[in-house]
Amino acid sequence: MVMRRSGTGAVKPRVRVGAEVLVEEQAHRLRGRRVAILTNGAALDGQARWVVDRVVEAGAQLVALFAPEHGLRGEAQAGVPVEDAREPRWGVPVYSLYGAHRRPTPESLDGVELFLCDLPDGGCRYWTFVATATQALEACGEQGIPFLLLDRPNPVGGLAVEGNVLDPAFRSLVGAHPMAIRHGLTLGEILAWQAATAGLGRGRLEVIPIRGWDRAWLYWETGLPWAAPSPNMPSPETLLLYPGTCLVEGTNLSEGRGTTHPFRWIGAPWIDGVRLARELNGRGLPGVAFRPVFFTPTFSKHAGTLCAGVEPHVLDPEAFRPVRTGLHLLDALYRQAPERWAWVGEERPFIDLLAGGETLRRHLEGGRDPDRLADAWDEEAAAFRREVEGFWLYRPGSGEGG
């Protein structure tokens, strides 16, 4: 982790997130205002202080909190509905946007003068916080409430873009906008892009930018403290794997939930991990090596059953391509035991929602070369990057940000 020292010798991060910029440079906008905040417990500043505490200490009158998937404190597992509650320290209602409602109701916004959103994004299209922030901005736009997005770095970098662009027919909570899988944008840039091109927020969006961020940086280069934004995202390294390994979530194989290494340990009871690691290491995938692993999930798929599989190790983060790696991982898993393979999902295969269309599923079932699909997706990703570069708030190479 790269850090710098202040004049007093105290270690300080080189990056200041949007919340710090707001309370340190624009606190007059908060004093005496009736404020609501959409956030979770991982929204920390450079000194590991929670955004809610900082906003209240800056003079805001906190009237409500809104929570995304996993709850305000990250206590709920993926897909588990979260009920409304009260925040004990500040005594305000906490409205869940992953329960009975997926967007703020007019009643929950009653009396709110300023709506703040500070959500740690995962840098990946599947991240449900993007859809939640989008729906909150829509609701504020309808009610005429100013919406301040307190921006944060993209934890997997803002230059590398990978994966196909979502087919709008497959929009969902894990695919809110027609963007690439590893999209290379901050949450502020995503909402600004959609505000400009699709009218999102009816002109109520304002992005409070990051200071000091170079979009080429991965999370551990920012100097910011890490807090898990969800129960199954324990480290920045896991986030770097996530654009590829999350695709396993659409199958009947374990993506490592219920273990200490979610989205790192991939396998099933019928998989030969030694053989799988040998196969994947022989494919020449850049920046990554695989080792066989054995694990017994305590919950989720194959709970209580010994599984075998692989763990990918990122050896060169700049060369590593998680989406291409994920396509090869699915292909190798499928080829080892196609008779045991199944797609999960109720109304439609969940893999189609993750992959933003049917192409991946049909490609895999047809036994086609994963590199051909990855190459086609790279072309889509390059076109997407050209489309959104005009909405970048942070230029590469400067390290200035904002």
Q: What is the pLDDT of residues 339-398, one digit of tens each?
A: 999 999 988 999 999 999 999 999 999 999 999 999 999 999 999 999 999 999 998 876
Q: Which of 9-18, 115-124, 248-257, 317-326 has the lowest mean pLDDT?
A: 9-18
pLDDT in tens, 201-224: 999 999 999 999 999 999 999 999
Cβ pair 121, 158 in contact under 8 A:
no
Amino acid at 65: L
Cβ pair 129, 173 in contact under 8 A:
no
Express as a percent the part of the chain with pLDDT over 90. 92
Residue 28: strand, helix, or coil: helix
CATH code of the region 236-365: 3.90.1150.140
Split at pLDDT 50, 70, 90, the class of 157 is very high
- Distances 328 to 8, 298, 332, 360, 372 between C-alpha atoms, Å: 50, 27, 6, 11, 11
Q: Mean of the pLDDT values across residues 56-84?
A: 94
**Superfamily of 4-227+387-391 according to CATH:** Uncharacterised protein PF07075, DUF1343 (3.40.50.12170)
Amino acid at 1: M
Residue 7 has pLDDT above 70, yes or no: no
pLDDT of residue 1: 37
pLDDT in tens, 348-357: 999 999 999 9
CA proximity to 98, closest of 66, 145, 126: 66
Q: Which residues of 226-260 are buried (b: 16+ CB within 10 A; e: fewer)?
A: bebbbbbbbebbbbbbbbbbbbbbbbebbbbbbbe
Q: Mean of the pLDDT values across residues 128-150?
A: 98
- Distances 26 to 22, 55, 62, 103, 227 between C-alpha atoms, Å: 5, 11, 17, 27, 25
Q: Per the structure block, which two tokens stand in for 200? A: 């999102």
* Residue 322, H or E segment: helix 322-336
**In the chain, where are the structural domains located?**
4-227+387-391, 236-365
pLDDT of residue 400: 55
